[in-house]
Structure 1
Amino acid sequence: MSKLAEFRQLERHLAEQLAALEAMKSDKDLEKEIEFERKLRELLGQYGKSLKDIILILDPQASLKHGKGVSVPVQATRKPRSVKQYKNPHTGEVVETKGGNHKTLKEWKAKYGSVTVESWLS
């Protein structure tokens, strides 16, 4: 399809979408839903509640229906990363890092390959 034909097709599609949008804007049911949502959000803000809170009030089993228990904030702790030490046999340079986001280590991996650099692990 030529660029011009594609452009005209998109232009027609956009005009159809804009017409549908204008038709929806004058829909009384949509206006009622928008007003309801606005008032509901104001009320939630006034009482410091979220939509999840309201769902749990109205349907306490809702969280169980989705295979999840009631979410309780838990402080996730993970094991601290160990320090890895890489020694470049070509230059004798040593790099110590806890992760793979080290500038020199990335340069070595780009130059020598990841498998080779991982073999330099002390």
Structure 2
Amino acid sequence: MSRLAEFRKLEQQLASQLADLEAMKGDAGLKKEIEFESKLRALLAEYGFSLPNVIDLLDPHSGRRSPVAASKGVRKARSVKIYKNPKTGELIETKGGNHRQLKEWKTEFGADVVESWRTQ
């Protein structure tokens, strides 16, 4: 598409959007919503509340999480697992199962056998 054609297309879209905007400005329902929002925000400011405070107050079981509830979801730290290969005496210390050498052992000897080598 040429630059001129792209320009004309964008110009038409802009004109269409401006016409839609002008039509919305005359809508009585929109005017009522804008008035309600401005009065609500003024009332919230007067009492020192925010929208999340009001949502928690009116519907405590809503999908939003309060800051206090979010701190309860702290994970427990993973414990260190130690594996000792009885054939080589080699030790592996890991907190997860994504250790390269541990994966190689599990493919070579089988996961059940390697798990039996766990000392902790």
Task: Using structure 2 for the length normalisation, give the TM-score.
Answer: 0.55
Q: Distance in 2 between matches of 1:4 and 1:52?
A: 48
Asked if 1:11 corresponds to 2:7, the answer is no
Asked if 1:71 corresponds to 2:59, the answer is no
Moved over 2 A (4+): none
- Structure-2 residue corresponding to 1:119: none
Asked if 1:51 corresponds to 2:47, the answer is no
Q: Given residue 12 of structure 2, which amino acid in structure 1 is its aligned partner?
A: R
- Structure-1 residue corresponding to 2:40: 40
Which runs of 5 or more structure 2 residues have no equivalent in the other structure? 72-120
Q: Given residue 4 of structure 2, which amino acid in structure 1 is its aligned partner?
A: L
Q: Which has the higher helix share?
A: 2
Number of residue-to-residue matches in the alignment:
70
Task: Using structure 1 for the length normalisation, give the TM-score.
Answer: 0.54
> 1:34 offset after TM fit, Å?
0.1
For the pair shown, the structure with the greater C-alpha radius of gyration is 2
Q: CA RMSD for the aligned pairs?
A: 1.7
Q: Given residue 8 of structure 1, which amino acid in structure 2 is its aligned partner?
A: R
Q: Deviations over 1:78-110 (max 9, x none)?
A: xxxxxxxxxxxxxxxxxxxxxxxxxxxxxxxxx
Higher relative contact order (CA 8 A, sep 6+): 2
> 1:71 offset after TM fit, Å?
1.2
